[in-house]
Structure 1
Amino acid sequence: MKKVFKLVGFASFAGVFYIGFTTYPKLDLISGFSAKSIASGHFIDNRSQVMIEKGDNDINLIDLASNEIDQKDNFATASVYGLKERKAIYRPGLGATLIDDNFDTSKPYEIPKRTFVKNNLPFPYGNNEPMDTVFTNVDYGKLNAAVANAFDKKGAIEKRTRSLLVIYKDKIIAEKYDTGFTKDSKILGWSMTKSITATLFGILAKEGKYNINTPAPIAEWKNDDRKVITTSDLLHMNSGLAWEENYSTICDATKMLFLAENMGRVQLEKPVAFKPNSHWNYSSGTTNLLSYILRNQFKTHQEYLDFWYAALIDKIGMNSMVVETDMAGNFVGSSYAWATTRDWAKFGLLYLHEGNWNGEQLFDTGWAQYVATPTNGSRGDYGAHFWLNAGGRYPDAPKDLYSANGFQGQKVFIIPSLDLVIVRMGLTEDAKFDVNGMLKGIIGSFKK
């Protein structure tokens, strides 16, 4: 019997040792994700710690973290069984930033200058409530049923939709929010932020200040094989640079988001793995490199910070949006933009109207066609920092649909042929949430 106990004890010790050995390297990422999520959700959207832990942090391994909010000094900390404590500090105007021990919290910092245009216009060109509009070609019974079906029934936790908004001909025809969320709730778009970053290049191109078809302006690449990589290659995610994006393990993407001081330099320092424009490889590092390139287009950091808001975000009234920065002060263009569902919809409407916002052309009409044209190697699924339906990803939606997509099912769908923008925010990917079914139901509510 003693021998059995010894064997059981040894097996238990071995099991604990194995779990600890395999998990310990991930602790920086686990506590880093948790601290950042707690700080952002609480200070940007006023969510309680409990709400964030039960929602945003309800992810395998992330739920191991213990968290604490310091309301006085505006930061959150997280650790796993007391190990690998990480801190994220919130600064108004810059959102929450995951920091390391070398970060000087007392150092002065610049924040973007914001412009909030006040007018008496209804949504989307103003912030007044939208006008009531009834379209005779819409079956509102079917539409409302399709929208309701996107949400969990009481007590269920499967679909996890937080908000769903349908806009037809610039008018809101359906809008629904889950318990705890309203039209004023700011929700993280994750990789929808990539589409925001790309749009800034379209704006610079229209102004004649940037040519995306020439080699990317990176001094470190001028004397090696990377010197031929264009900004267009980067926008298409087919630069040929080495990159691993696998969030189930420690990879280039997770190390960048949860360990790097200057996220824009992580992809910059990678070698060439393929010939440019020959191999599509999704890379959050590429988008942060684009943010880094944008920074270098301006003489001062203040000009860079202001440009994102003055040229795009505040220009179209996305006044709720906050784009967060890394420790170096650059926008995390791959992942960290927060906004209300209605403001995310305004971004979709800008593309629906091919860059025209209430009479002002922000980017050339050809830019909308550019981002929605399939890139080499993507099988019709990807354009230039936008996802496409050209390859039939959603069989019951038009092929001209394209979208800004983010982790856990954040979507801004643009459907030019139907004059539709659909925004869905939630916590579930395609495997658990039937995106095609949602689109089919909404589109099916239009009478032929």
Structure 2
Amino acid sequence: MRPLSAYVLTSLLVSAGALSVGHAEETETTKHAYAAGYLAGFTCSAVFNGQKEMDAIRRDELTGIYDLVAAQVQELTPNIDHQHKFVSVSYDGGKRQRISVWRPKLGCVDLPVGASSADLKKVANPFADSTAPSADSGAPWSATPNGLTAAQQQALAEVVERAFSKAYGSGARTSAILVATPEHILAEQYLPGFTPETAQRTWSVAKSIGASVIGVAVQQQLLEVDTPAALENWSHELDPRRHITLANLLHMASGLDSNRAGNRTDRVYMGGGLVSDTATERALEVTPGERWKYANNDTLLALRTLRERFATSDGYLRFPYEQLLDKVGMHHTFLETDWQDDFILSSQVWTTARDLARLGVLHLQNGQWNGEQLLPNDWLAYISTPAPAQPPEGAPGYGAQWWLYNERFPELPNDTIAARGNRGQFLVIIPSHNLVIVRRGYDIAGEPGFNEHDFARDVLGALAL
């Protein structure tokens, strides 16, 4: 394996967990709106998705964050309306406010700049009659002995304990670890105050969840990966974007301009912007398929492709839940949207360690759950196949919205894949060992975060005893 320092540096520059410094020059007014939106959105999601108190939110969600808004966020105060389930934040001396409102299953939606509490009733709420999720059942895992020897159990416990220290990164702050096979949870540990029902933001792990939603649509013949995305906004016969395929989008190879840092989509993530006003408007920069560039917009556009196959937004909003999440028991997962009902599945998902592990188990079972084929039976092979254009050497490879730990990282099995997200969110799948590894955290921006490669290597070492 190459030296850790080179790996960390490359990861900071190109990985899903990176917070690149490259961004447009925002005005001070825009920065203020972003900071207020960040605080409103994260407070809303952490309170109503994660059931957290404000002191814990300040400690976890609002420290060690993106420096564009970090200082201003600390100077603002959220107003939490528990009865109507929304959060508002006043800024610019009280002249303006940002609002984020919660909906069952769908979590919080950030309203645009200029919206007021009078606009809350205009937000779509297709699951209004849904009840709150109950305690996690522990399914599909068995409570019977997991078959590990005493030596394996002890060694694995020691590796997990190290994960809650700084052993895997000086900026690491771990909140949850889970190691499982389809039959058993082999190890599970949480930071005090966290439980199996505590949802956290996935950040870019959401991209792999989004790819799974796409996979369900492929299985149901709503989409084909090798055909043009055919977005309405690209329909003019002179528009070269008509040739961008769904596969190009899944491979991070759309060829679209996504600014210097494609992982910065602040206007959607913090500014109350729309997917349809941002991602679909980007111009083509290079031929689709010839360049790999990590870009949130490619994920947003892949899901927009699915959205345009539905006659109503209600049908689209229900699809991921009714056809995937509810079927595999991911009942503590919230897929958040913009205010015109486009899923922001490049980042804005809140979920638990167990729900992520369930998604991993679905892939280990080649897309089958309780006898039903949810994903194509070759979907794992598809997402694990290296895309035609690849990230630079030093980073993991890339498949279809999943990272690949192939020959670039010889200390892990060649079939290892991972969903990776900012602040140290990881879902690692190792099919040859029938194993899923989940790590959740609140790693500090700008410092070496949790090294999932070394942790997965050590977990495998413990299980090999």
TM-score band by shorter chain is 0.7 to 0.9
Residue 14 (structure 2) aligns with: none
The 8 Å contact of residues 112 and 309 in structure 1, kept in 2 or not, is answered as no
Match of 1:288 among 300, 303, 328: 300
1:271-420 correspondence runs (5 A): 271-375=283-387, 376-379=389-392, 381-392=397-408, 394-420=409-435
Amino acid at match of 1:373: T
Distance 1:389 1:261, change over 3 A: same
CA contact (8 A) 1:163 1:341 kept: yes
Is the partner of 1:52 in helix, strand or coil?
helix
Q: What secondary structure is seen at the aligned counterpart in 1 of 2:398?
A: coil
Is the 1:137–1:446 Cα contact (8 Å) retained in structure 2?
Answer: no
**1:135-214 correspondence to structure 2 within 5 Å:** 135-136=148-149, 139-152=152-165, 158-214=171-227
Give the match for residue 7 of structure 1. Answer: none
3-state secondary structure, aligned to 1:303: helix
2:230 to 187, 204, 217: 217
Contact 2:37–2:270 (8 Å) recurs in 1 = yes
Are 2:89 and 1:78 equivalent residues in the alignment?
yes
SS of the residue aligned with 1:176?
A: strand
**CA distance in 2: counterparts of 1:264 and 1:401, whole angstroms:** 34
- In the alignment, structure 2 segments of 5+ residues that lack a partner are 1-25
Amino acid at match of 1:389: Y
What secondary structure does 2:56 align onto? helix
Larger Rg: 1
Cα contact 2:329–2:355 (8 A) shared by 1:
yes
Distance 1:355 1:145, change over 3 A: same
Match of 1:29 in 2: 34
Distance 1:113 1:401, change over 3 A: farther
Is 2:66 the partner of 1:51? no
Output one character per residue of 1:203-244: Cα deviation in whole Å (capped at 9) or x when no partner: 222222321211112133232111111011011110101103
Following TM superposition, by how much is the alpha carbon of 1:397 offset from its aligned partner in structure 2, in angstroms?
A: 1.8
2:450 aligns with 433
Matching residue's letter, 2:405: N
Aligned to 1:444: 461
In structure 2, C-alpha distance between the alignment counterparts of 1:114 and 1:422, rounded to whole Å: 34
- Cα separation, partners in 2 of 1:245 and 1:142, compared to 1, 3 Å: farther
Q: TM-score, normalised by structure 2?
A: 0.82
Q: Contact 2:428–2:436 at 8 Å: present in 1 too?
A: yes
Paired residues in the alignment total 417
The CA RMSD over aligned residues, in Å, is 2.8
Q: Is residue 264–residue 290 contact of structure 1 (8 Å, CA) maintained in 2?
A: no
Offset, 1:169: 4.8
Residue deviations 1:90-116 (CA, integer Å, cap 9, x gap): 223321111122472222623248999
| Aligned 8 A contact 2:98 2:115 in 1 | no
Alpha-carbon separation, structure 1, partners of 2:129 and 2:383 = 27
- In the alignment, the residues of structure 1 paired with residue 260 and residue 433 of structure 2 have an alpha-carbon distance, to the nearest angstrom, of 34
Superposed CA deviations along residues 273-328 of structure 1, whole A, max 9, x for unmatched, are 01111111111122222222222211222211111111111111111111111111
Instruction: Provide the rounded CA distance (Å) in 2 between the counterparts of 1:272 and 1:444.
Output: 46
Cα 1:27–1:217 change in 2 (3 A) is same
Sequence identity of aligned pairs in percent? 30
Give the C-alpha shift of residue 358 in structure 1.
2.9
Residue 265 of structure 1, CA deviation:
4.1
Asked if the contact 2:206/2:346 (under 8 Å) is kept, the reply is: yes
1:95 alignment partner, one of 74, 90, 107? 107
Output the amino acid matched with 2:70.
I
Deviation at 1:56, TM superposition (A): 0.7
CA contact (8 A) 1:396 1:439 kept: no
Q: Distance in 2 between matches of 1:115 and 1:255?
A: 30
Please name the residue that 1:62 is paired with. Answer: 70
Alpha carbons of 1:63 and 1:399: their partners in 2 closer, same or farther (altered >3 Å)? Answer: farther
**1:309 and 1:381 mapped to 2: Cα distance?**
30
Structure 1: 5+ residue runs without aligned partners?
A: 1-20
SS at match of 2:462: coil
Residue deviations 1:5-37, cap 9 Å, x none?
xxxxxxxxxxxxxxxx98554222222111110
Q: Looking at both structures, which has the greater relative contact order when contacts are Cα pairs under 8 Å and sequence separation is at least 6?
A: 2
Partners of 1:409 and 1:347 lie apart in 2 by 18
